[in-house]
A and B are shown apart, each in its own frame.
Chain A
Amino acid sequence: MLQLDLKTNKAASIDLLRLPLLGGLLKWRHARTLLQIPLFVIAVAMILHGLFGPVLAPRNLATTLTWIHFRGALVMVLLFAGNFFCLTCPFMLLRNLTRKFVHPVRNWPRRLRNKWFSISLFVVVLFVYEWFDLWASPWWTAWLIVMFFAGALVIDSIFKHATFCKFVCPIGQFNFVAATVSPFEVAVRDHDVCTQCRTKDCIRGARAPEAPLVVIQRGCELALFQPRKVGNLDCTFCLDCVQACPYDNVGIMSRLPAEELVRDPLRSGVGVLSRRKDLSALVVVFAFGALLNAFAMVSPVYVLEQRLANLFAVTTELPVLAFIFALFLIAEPVLLLGIAAWITRSVSSKQRSLVSTAARYAYALVPLGFGIWLAHYSFHFLTGVFTFIPVTQAAVAELGSAIVGQPRWGLTGMAPNVVQLFEFGFIALGLLGSLLVSYSIAATEELVHPVRVFVPWAALSLLLAAAAFWVLLQPMEMRGVVLGSG
């Protein structure tokens, strides 16, 4: 059972940076680079294999590692730890190297300092994934990886700070939202130490005593000031703040998953959640996108596409897909959140606009959305976890070396029927989380009738969970397994 530390108002925490070995490694100045290098090498191998290797997706490193292993490992790490992908992100290795020679002076345009642009890119990636059948195309998958590298490099060579991570990268936005449900966060160990602190190096950067204008260790590039940072939103786990703090006062602390979604204080670098319509929209796309992405891998989607094509009398996929996306990511959320917000307003003692009400309660959808992503990606990951072995063996054999032996194509992963149980478990846990968060928000905001306010949001979560269970129970097409991914 979790013990509450009443003085700090926090659960007694485990600090990963204080663990033997792991803590030492993560606190090492070059830990990030060390962790990025292997992922960079793998990314380069994926690009080369995607562009020049076999065209069949299950035989190619680009498709196999991207759509089975990377996505699955990503959500697993988010579930069990936190946003460690951003820590080890290979795109940032190249960018950090370039920053040694290129020193951008421009600021990202004020009008774009929000999540709208990255939401659009997130939707574009989901759309392109379906339109170009990325799971089946090593070539396009390789180009997608190249585009991420190029995007990070170009944007962060022109603009200061971590512009790409904070305002552009769709993977980053996914990680930021999902990490709100993670059990660890980068946080201050003792707030009293921060109160006494004069230098605030965690945000300003550590400077050489003999040359106070020279930053020898950068502070948080994402504008998260540790003492006022709340939760994982916008945090890339880069650990710059850990390196910069002169009092060794920043750790990677355990915390109660999803609790940050309930509270609505002013957050450093983020603002007040209920006033951030762009963040609410990101969360909505995250949750409904999870359902759409999972739905697109089961066979009824073909029936729907065919019917829509007949209805619109078109023979190309583009308008049909665009319609499905508009339906799932715009019409459905607007309608469902609109109804829930309207009911909330009519029973609430607070006078809030419909949009503000929906924006506040939308955050309750994160645990369920994450549960659906987890169910989907963990399915591919766990049923195909060993497939990287034969694909790598085949790739090495293509180079004319027999050093790793003949491809063992029989190596796959866990039995699908067992993994299916995990999928149910993840969605059920996500639903529980969403119910807990929506009730907590309702009870925090409504002192008189919290249950009345809770009911429409609980109904919305139940509806989405039912849809997710339905999707899971549909027969999957072959794209749902190693021969492609959903």
Chain B
Amino acid sequence: MMRLRHASLIHTLLVVLIFVSTTRAHEGPPYPLFVDQFVGSYSVSVWTDPDVGDALFYVILSEQHQPLPLDLRVQIGVQPVSGRLPEAFYPAERENLPKQVQYKAQVHFDAAEHWRVRVRLESASGNAETTATVAATPPGYGRWDLLVYLVPFLAVGIVWGVAMVRRFRQRTGDKHA
């Protein structure tokens, strides 16, 4: 799935450059929803890549003040702020990365709108939760967005290329003269 979307980004890039109108979704890295917020006795940071469709949430827990309980379970609940859908919960999987404890959850957003996100931490030693709001990212770039961002690169590339060729011709011309 991910590879397919990656392939489609290259596809998009090429296609837009030749002014055809198809666009597809992007794959971008996550950004922080909040950092080092105290939730119960935990210090929690939540990062998200909120694409419409499959969105990712990373919950990073700090072990600074006390060891994390072994039975800790993390869940992410999402619901449109408008309330048009009931809240849906998704379990987060623990990932062991160097020097941090991280839980990752994949949730589903069906539309580009504001969603309320609930981070729930459960263990025998107590439960805690916090909420935040996130805007689900529209699926992919608009054609004009892509043009606006890529035109400067194209322009620089053309000017650079022409200047290099001219300089080269001039130099070899001088050499042969």
Binding site for B on A (CB under 8 A): 1-2, 4, 6, 9, 11, 55-56, 58-59, 133, 136-137, 256-259, 262-263, 379, 383, 390, 409-410, 412, 415-422, 424-426, 428-429, 432-433, 436-437, 440, 443-444, 469, 473-484
Contact = CB atoms under 8 A, between A and B. Distances in A.
Contacts of A263: 171
Given A425-B150, A477-B97, A480-B29, A55 B64 contact: yes
Nearest to A317: B98
A170 B163 CA distance: 32
Interface in B132-172: 137, 141, 146, 149-150, 152-153, 156-157, 159-168, 170-172
B47 to A, nearest CB: 6
Contacts of B100: 136, 478, 483-484
Closest 3 CB pairs between A and B?
A425-B153, A473-B6, A416-B28
A136 B98 contact: yes
B62 interface: yes
A59 B32 CA distance: 13
Contacts of B159: 1-2
A473 B157 contact: no
A478 B97 contact: yes
Given A11-B167, A416-B29, A420-B9, 17 more contacts: A1-B159, A59-B36, A256-B164, A259-B167, A409-B36, A410-B32, A420-B29, A421-B150, A425-B150, A426-B153, A429-B153, A440-B168, A473-B10, A476-B29, A476-B30, A477-B97, A478-B60
Contacts of B23: none
B62 A56 contact: yes
Nearest to B152: A425
A263 B174 CA distance: 14
B47 A56 contact: no
Interface residues of B, number: 51
Contacts of B98: 133, 136, 479
Contacts of A412: 31-32
B18 interface: no
A182 to B, nearest CB: 13
Given A473-B6, A483-B47, A383 B166 contact: no
A262 to B, nearest CB: 7
A436 B37 CA distance: 51
Contacts of A478: 30, 47, 58, 60, 97, 100, 102
B34 interface: yes
Nearest to A133: B98
A133 B98 CA distance: 8
Contacts of A409: 32, 34-37
Interface string B114-131: 000000000000000000
Contacts of B99: 133, 136-137
Most buried by A among B13, B29, B37, B153: B29
Contacts of A437: 164
A9 B172 CA distance: 12
A469 to B, nearest CB: 7
A379 B31 CA distance: 12
Contacts of B29: 379, 383, 416, 420, 475-476, 480-481
B158 to A, nearest CB: 9
A55 B35 CA distance: 14
Nearest to A479: B97
A481 B27 contact: no
Contacts of A133: 98-99
A171 B174 CA distance: 38
A4 B31 contact: no
A433 B141 CA distance: 27
B172 A483 contact: no
Nearest to B35: A409
11 contacts: A9-B171, A58-B36, A133-B98, A259-B164, A390-B35, A420-B9, A422-B149, A429-B157, A469-B10, A481-B32, A483-B60
B35 A416 contact: no
Given A1-B162, A58-B35, A421 B60 contact: no
Most buried by B among A257, A383, A479, A483: A483
Contact of A417 (B10, B141, B152, B163): B141
A415 B48 CA distance: 12
B85 interface: no
A256 B49 CA distance: 40
Nearest to A469: B10
A59 B146 CA distance: 34
Contact of B157 (A259, A428, A469): A428
B32 A4 contact: no
Contacts of B172: 443-444
Contacts of B10: 469, 473
B149 A2 contact: no
A6 B98 CA distance: 58
Given A409-B32, A409-B35, A425 B6 contact: no
Most buried by B among A263, A412, A478, A480: A478
A440 B146 contact: no
Contacts of B137: 417
A416 B13 contact: no
A207 B46 CA distance: 62
Nearest to A422: B149
Contacts of B60: 478, 483
Given A432-B157, A436-B164, A478-B100, A425 B149 contact: yes
Contacts of A56: 36, 62, 64
Nearest to A444: B172
A366 B49 CA distance: 33
B27 to A, nearest CB: 7
